[in-house]
Structure 1
Amino acid sequence: MRIVLRRSRAGGPAAVLAVLVGLLLLLLPGTAMASGGLDDAAASLKQGKVYVDPAMTGRFSQAQADALTKKIKDADKPIMVAVVPDSSQYPAKSVFQDLRTKAGITGVYAVWRGDQFGVRADSSALNGQTARNYAQAAYDSHHGDINGTLTDFVTNAAPKVSGHAPGSSKFSAAMIVVPLVLLALVGVGAFLLVRRSRKRKAEKQANELRALRTVVDEDITAFGEELERLDFNPGSPSADDAQRADYTRALDSYESAKKLMDAATRPEDVTAVTTALEDGRFSLATLAARREGRALPERRPPCFFDPRHGPSMQDAMWSPAGGAPRQVPVCADDAMRLASGLDPAIRTVQTDQGPQPYWNAGPVYGPWAGGYFGGYGSGLLPGLLVGTMLGSVFSGPPAYGYGDGGFDGGFDGGHERYEGGDFSGGDFNSNDFGGFNSSDFGGGSDFGGGDFGGGSDFGGGGDW
């Protein structure tokens, strides 16, 4: 006999749908069936929600609980409210301490149990006498109306409660994450600004180096041509060791200048190039004096008007256009021109305004001038260039280095007052968690008698 198992066309999908809906209900917050008890109550209080035991929803609806939860959150106070039945699930004698221990939140605990209302508070959150007064007044005003009593108590007590509602602590994750995000944004912004600044600086340096390279290449070329025109044979019988040393030094300066310029990556690198050229030209002047039998020249700065003229021979008075007179080192030819009332042969460079004397072409030529004149004392260039555009580079804090050969923000150092709303878990002093005796509130001695924290056991002041 063959047995055929036939799947129901309707039952299969419906069963699957039912399972999925059931799983969804379990996963969605607040949809799981609550069985009641201290654990469920504590879980709700940790989330800052007013807890209503399923057995009490007929007297205090979920809508009323949600409204009261919103009121507490709007006030941002650590007030924990639970509405529970007169049941062994919530032992009258220990329900407050049980909820405080399991919820672990420093604050005010208001419990409606059966037909009675009680409140306890950590002293750091609310004074016990104040809690007693507000609880008694709320209970007496509403005659068994749970919603009216709880709303009245929260409304009047909240302004007196210290601390913050659970989930809105001053040490909340949001207040940690937000500053970190802002710090990250500041860091990114600073990085972008620094990168942009560096890019602009690099572009500026590249443009300046390009302008300097044109001028320096002309100087190097002019010096090379001088070497080529020099009628000197180191192997000649008339040449001595001192002459050969001068000649060799001039050649080395020429080669060094070329290599340094090829390797230059910043405007400042040009200083070493013009220093080498200045030294090479002085070597040629020394060689010429040796060959002609003259006294060796004094080591002097190059000609101010054009360093390609070689070492200066003397100082002469000169005034730039619109400037004050000053003494400048000049070569022999320029000294003669000045003495004759003629203009000196001035080195000009190309600018956006056309050819200009190098001292009026801007600070970009600071490294160039520094290499020629910087070795003769830090005071030389400022004196020569005062009143010119290039002089501004050397009149203030040097752009290029040439040498001679407690918080007051109301913080008083005190300790911040501890306030409620923080999580302490079960680590709290029960003597510091109290409010009043059962006979002092919520219907007098009928509030559980000795079973609900009766007598001195129900924590009035330090009796907890």
Structure 2
Amino acid sequence: MSSDRTTAAATAATAATAAPRHRPLPGLLAALLLACAALLGTGAPARADATPATTATGESIAAALKTSPVYVDPAFAAAVTPAQQQQIAEQIAATGLPIKVVLVPLQQGDAFGGRAKGLSAVVQERLGQSPLIMITSDDYGSWLNGYEWPSDTHQVRDSANAVSLLKELKDAGLAAKVGRAVELISTGKGTEVYKAEADRVDREYSARPHTDDTAGAPGSSSSSTGLFALAAVLVLALVIGAALVARSRRPRHTAFTFPDAVFAADRAADEAGLRRQAADEVLALGTLLDGADGSTTPGLGRALDAYDAAGRVLDAADGLPDLAGVLALAAEGRAALATEPRLPLCFFDPRHGTAARRTTWRPLGRRERVDVAVCEDCAQALKARRSPQVLAVRDQGRTVPYFEVPADRSLWAATGYGSLLSGPDDTLAARVTTGAFTRTTHRRRPTDPKD
């Protein structure tokens, strides 16, 4: 099973939206948020939309790659000079592998849908080459993605992911990162190095003190001590601002909004940890299936369906929502093997684990209530009229809770990762098998020919 892009730190969330009775409060809260956002900006990776949008097309890039294995958009010319491009090309030639490097800034609405995966798919199609290994810039412009056709036999994705975690490359330029990725691919040590670095990041994060506001958020690690400190400042500002607003006006229902300044900086490493966890969950389910006896396990067929569906989604996963879906499918498979009924994963964020109970909840701006499965922490948050910690996603340029994405563009919003299924015969695995995942993936990125 293949694994997609992974890199640096964790998703952040929640700012108060209720308007207070007095005007000075919003001004103070805004000042706090702006100050923190400015601080965070100094430590965040550069995003692709901070550089000029490329005018390159799949055809022009493919044509250039026929004369050199390295294509660098003019927007990245200062980061990867012609001399460095030549050095990388010579390094690739020495490997004897069909490696191509494509470094292009990405923006929503460009020829690739603003996605690294779209860029790789379009260029590979125009090249018409297989086998092929491709290293690209990522959606934010600071890190790397790795792709291989027809399959990831050279640990290309893990090699690109490892580069994002290596301490010695934290402040390195793009050219150095590409060179190290080529080296890992050629030596076949990408997976080994990636796992070692991911373990290191996990250990370092676990060793740090956490407050109630951040504890229990899986995968929210960072290779930068400064980023943790700045994020702490942001959390403090949010707490202070929310307290001031609450004095003035108590919200009547749960609100969810997300500051983009934190989301863009932290999204990638959260994905790294979650992808690894998802792969481990699928492997663990496979081990359980190997030892299951069909004569004494009535749910074996459903478990096998869940295992197959989890593998499909993991292969095509493009971001946190899909990877969380792999966790939900693996949990569905384990539940099918269990002798006692089990609840699905937590509705608000599957990374919270198996739900502890079901409860009714009224989404913001709606009159109807829905029955959802929630973990104990989310249940307590709802009881206290606080916002549970939710899985945040990007949808058409906005950061929103995953369940606010229209159901026709997200299988996960339509099902609540299992909470909103209609009955015993309506399963996540069944929906994946009948094409619901593929259809919604295509609708959410209509410009990406491979989704």
Per the normalisation by structure 2, the TM-score is 0.26
Bigger Rg, structure 1 or 2: 1
